Amino acid sequence: MKGAVRWYFASSVLGGIVVAGAFLALGVTGRRTTQTVVVQSPVYAQPASSSASGLTPHDIYERDAPGVVFVKAQIVQQIEDPFDLFPQQERSVSTGSGFLIDQRGDILTNYHVIEG
C-alpha cells in the first residue's frame, strides 16, 4: 500500500512538472510583450471641390446615391450532431451595402457581406 501511494504521488508531481514545462515552452504563462510602432505620414488636405471633374461632394452624392443599396444576406444551415437525434438549424444574417452596376439590377458588394 505504501508503494502505491508513493507511486501515485511521484506520478502526480512528474505530471505537474510536464504540464508546467509545456506552459512555459508554449508561452501560455500570460506574459506577453507587444510593440506598437507609430508611423506618421504627412497629411495633404485638399479642398472638397477640387476634384478633376469639378464636382463637389454634394454633386457626387446627388449623382450616385440612387444607385446605393442595402444588402441583407440570410443563410440557414442544417447542423447535424451525431449525439443529437434532431438536427438543428443555424441562421446567419449579415448586412452591408452595395451599388447597382447595370440596368438589369445587378448589385456589386463585398464578399464578406454575403458569405454568412
**Phi, psi at 60, each rounded to 5°:** -65, -40
**Structural domain of 16:** 1-32
Q: Is the pLDDT of residue 100 over 60?
A: yes
**Do the beta carbons of residue 115 and residue 86 sit within 8 Å?**
no
**Considering the chain, what is the average pLDDT of its residues?**
75
39-73 per-position pLDDT tens digit: 555 545 455 545 556 888 899 888 888 888 888 88
Beta carbons within 10 angstroms of residue 10's beta carbon:
10
In this structure, is residue 22 part of a structural domain?
yes
In this structure, is residue 7 part of a structural domain?
yes
Q: What is the pLDDT of residue 28?
A: 54
> Cα 85 to chain center, whole Å?
32
In this structure, is residue 47 part of a structural domain?
no
